[in-house]
């Protein structure tokens, strides 16, 4: 409650002669769920993932008491994200199991799709490319049935899995498809992710000079989006590609820029390591 609102309540009480009045009824459960989840999202954006986890846990608990399947799934998925950022990978998987291990039809399909995609991302972080590819494929098939808006995200995850699995040619093909899909939806964040993967794949295929234009485009978009984590990822890939093509001066310049950003990020509340993220819709 804001200071102005508290003052208004106090004045109203005084004008009523300070008579005893019943306390206002607690907000409906759905409103409490929404408030806790919104607070969790705000804290997560600020980098306070431990506090965000508490808010998402609260929202999940309330959702379970009224059997709100969509809210249960949404907050379990949000919990998995902040748990992963905190390094609690087993807890992140357990949160997703709430959705993924449930009986078919228990949760809305779009939430199951999001959970499958998150599971693929967790598998990537654990270097389990086979599991990552399997869950990303499940998400892709479900997305095709639903006509969902996460096609570019799924393709980017599949591209990452192919890169980690040493299949650069497949990674390039998937990243190019992701770029096309993302541009078709004017999705700048996924466009940048796709361009970064295109650059990585080209470098792996022995064409570091061809990788640099895509990486520079990714960097330009991420700078416009003001996303330090992604900017760091772009600079790291540009450093590698420049070194691979024999341009030591350019590589050193990218490295120095990345170091400056990394130091600034550590000084701020929201500094985090680079990660693939699912943006919940």
Domain span holding position 246? 179-269
* 103 assigned to some structural domain: yes
Q: What is the pLDDT of residue 47?
A: 84
* 161 assigned to some structural domain: no
* 112 neighbors 100 (Cβ within 8 angstroms): yes
Query: Are residues 129 and 51 part of one domain?
Result: yes
Query: Are residues 183 and 142 part of one domain?
Result: no
The answer on pLDDT for 278 being more than 60 is no
Instruction: Show the 3-state SS of 242-256.
Output: HHHCCCHHHHHHHHH
pLDDT digits (tens, 9 = 90+) for 208-246: 999 999 999 999 999 999 888 899 999 999 999 999 999
pLDDT digits (tens, 9 = 90+) for 66-112: 999 999 999 999 999 999 999 999 999 999 999 999 888 899 999 99
* 256 assigned to some structural domain: yes
Residue 208 to residue 259: CA distance in whole angstroms:
22
Q: How does DSSP assign 146-208, residue by residue?
A: HT-S-HHHHHHHHHHHHHHTT-HHHHHHHHHHHHHHHHHTT-HHHHHHHHHHHHHHHHHTT-H
Residue 194 to residue 215: CA distance in whole angstroms:
10
* 21 assigned to some structural domain: no
pLDDT digits (tens, 9 = 90+) for 177-192: 999 999 999 999 999 9
Query: Are residues 190 and 93 part of one domain?
Result: no
Q: Is the pTM of this model over 0.75?
A: yes
Query: Are residues 258 and 186 part of one domain?
Result: yes
* 262 assigned to some structural domain: yes
Domain boundary among 127, 148, 169: 148
Number of domains within the chain: 2
* 113 assigned to some structural domain: yes
């Amino acid at each position: 409650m804001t200071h102005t609102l508290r003052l208004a309540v106090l004045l109203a009480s005084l004008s009523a002669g300070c008579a005893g009045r019943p306390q206002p009824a607690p907000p409906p459960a759905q409103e409490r769920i929404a408030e806790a989840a919104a607070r969790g999202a705000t804290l997560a954006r600020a980098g306070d993932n431990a506090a965000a986890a508490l808010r998402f846990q609260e929202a999940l608990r309330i959702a379970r008491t009224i059997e709100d399947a969509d809210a249960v799934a949404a907050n379990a998925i949000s919990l998995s994200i902040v748990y992963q950022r905190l390094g609690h990978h087993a807890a992140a998987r357990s949160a997703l199991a709430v959705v993924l291990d449930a009986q078919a039809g228990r949760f809305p399909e779009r939430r199951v799709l999001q959970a499958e995609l998150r599971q693929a991302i967790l598998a990537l972080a654990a270097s389990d490319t086979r599991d990552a590819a399997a869950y990303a494929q499940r998400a892709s098939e479900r997305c095709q049935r639903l006509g969902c808006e996460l096609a570019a995200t799924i393709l980017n995850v599949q591209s990452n899995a192919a890169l980690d699995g040493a299949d650069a040619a497949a990674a390039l093909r998937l990243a190019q498809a992701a770029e096309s899909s993302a541009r078709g939806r004017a999705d700048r964040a996924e466009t940048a992710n796709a361009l970064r993967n295109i650059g990585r794949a080209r470098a792996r295929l022995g064409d570091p000079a061809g990788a640099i234009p895509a990486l520079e485009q990714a960097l330009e978009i991420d700078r416009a989006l003001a996303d330090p984590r992604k900017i760091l990822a772009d600079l790291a890939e540009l450093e590698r590609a420049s070194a691979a093509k024999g341009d030591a001066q350019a590589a050193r310049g990218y490295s120095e820029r990345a170091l400056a950003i990394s130091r600034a990020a550590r000084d701020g509340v929201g500094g985090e390591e680079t990660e693939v993220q699912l943006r919940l819709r």
